[in-house]
Structure 1
Amino acid sequence: MRKLSVLLLPVLVACTTTTGVVPIGQDTYMVGGSGKSPGGYSGAEVKAAAFREATQFCATQGKKMQVVNTNERDMSFGVNATAEVQFMCLAEGDHELGRPKLQRSADQVIQVVPSAQPPQAARGQSTDTYAELLKLEDLRKRGILNDAEFEAQKKKLLTTN
């Protein structure tokens, strides 16, 4: 039984793997990672491992780590937890070294496309035209306008709009 528990121990221990440090620009790097375990794993745990690796990498160069961007995703059914840290290694007196300027990027981008509808003024005119036609019809029904006068006013209204 003791041998069995020793053999199963590595299977039950959580596992985090990283990409290692990958250069993505001048003095700018990225560390990505994923993690899985039978009990679940959080993206924050993977991100923490990436931060440790990034900090250690910059320290070996005698520099400080400055975060540029981060993202993470927790473990879900069939998908490992993942995280990515983008960072710069900067000298102690560098003006960019300071508080991280993290900005969340959009998950979705919505592009507004101009519609083919007429301008607001033209739409207002068509609504006004309809209202005027209703008024003319009401005047005709009440006997204020006869059929000929109604048709003349209607034609005038429709040709001007």
Structure 2
Amino acid sequence: MRQIAALLFSIAALSGCANPGIVKLSPDTYMLSREAHGGIFASPSALKAGVISDAHAFAEGQGKVAIPISAKERPMGNGPAQWASFEYQFRVVDKNDPEVRRTSLLPPANVLIQKIENISPDIRTKDESIRPVDVYAELVKLDDLRKKGIINEIEFEAQKKKILSTK
């Protein structure tokens, strides 16, 4: 009976950090995520170290180097099935790549600032600028209307007087 209990405990302990595998996000970017199912007996630092070492082993298997992009950890919760987890995103680059010399792991932003404002643009579809009246052109048009018989002599004189008075 003790042997069965010890066997079950060791199976549970070994499967406590199950690894779903490395997921390819883009041609050179990968993600590795793992949950610690050991509950209060699981070590968060061992979880992180295991994930990061697996990422480096994956890159070394290709003859390259793993450059960290981001890491996100979730501590163990208080309820059932709220396991601690660690997600690690990394790029696989050549050993001669300039990014290998200096890497920085930036935490994800937990605050997002949005600026939303209403803008009322002053759009005009017609030219409303004041133009000087071309008296000569207006009189020529008026005379043309009179010659074509569209307006009579009285209307012509009234419009002519109006044009000359606006100057």
CA contact (8 A) 1:36 1:80 kept: yes
- 1:22-45 Cα deviation digits (max 9, x unpaired): 111221111011112143435433
1:54 and 1:12 map into 2 onto residues whose CA distance is: 24
Q: Name the stretch that deviates more: 100-109 or 20-29.
A: 100-109
C-alpha contact 2:72 2:108 (8 A) present in aligned 1:
no
* 1:6 CA displacement: 2.4
For 1:42 and 1:109, the matched residues in 2 are separated by 31
Matches of 1:56 and 1:87, distance apart in 2: 12
Does 1:28 find its partner at 2:29? yes
Q: Match of 1:13, SS? A: helix
- Note the residue ranges of structure 2 that are not aligned, 5 or more in a row: 119-167
- Per-residue CA deviation, residues 67-102 of structure 1 (Å, 9 max, x unaligned), is 111111111223101111111111111111123222
Whether 2:111 is the aligned partner of 1:86: answer no
Larger Rg: 2
TM-score, normalization by structure 2: 0.59
Query: Structure 1: how far apart are the matches of 2:26 and 2:50?
Result: 22
* Preserved contact between residue 33 and residue 50 of structure 1 (Cα < 8 Å): yes
**For residues 13-60 of structure 1, what are the alpha-carbon distances to aligned partners after superposition, in whole Å with 9 as ceiling and x for unaligned?**
261022211111221111011112143435433222211211111111
Contact 1:66 / 1:98 at 8 angstroms: preserved in 2? no
TM-score by length of 1: 0.61
State, as a whole percentage, how many aligned pairs show the same letter.
28
Question: How many residue pairs align between the two structures?
Answer: 115
Residue 115 of structure 2 corresponds to residue 104 of structure 1: no
Task: Show the counterpart of 2:53.
Answer: 52
| C-alpha distance in 1 between matches for 2:41 and 2:3 | 26
Amino acid corresponding to residue 101 of structure 2 in structure 1: G
Is 2:74 the partner of 1:73?
Answer: yes
Kept in 1: contact 2:39–2:76 (CA 8 A): no
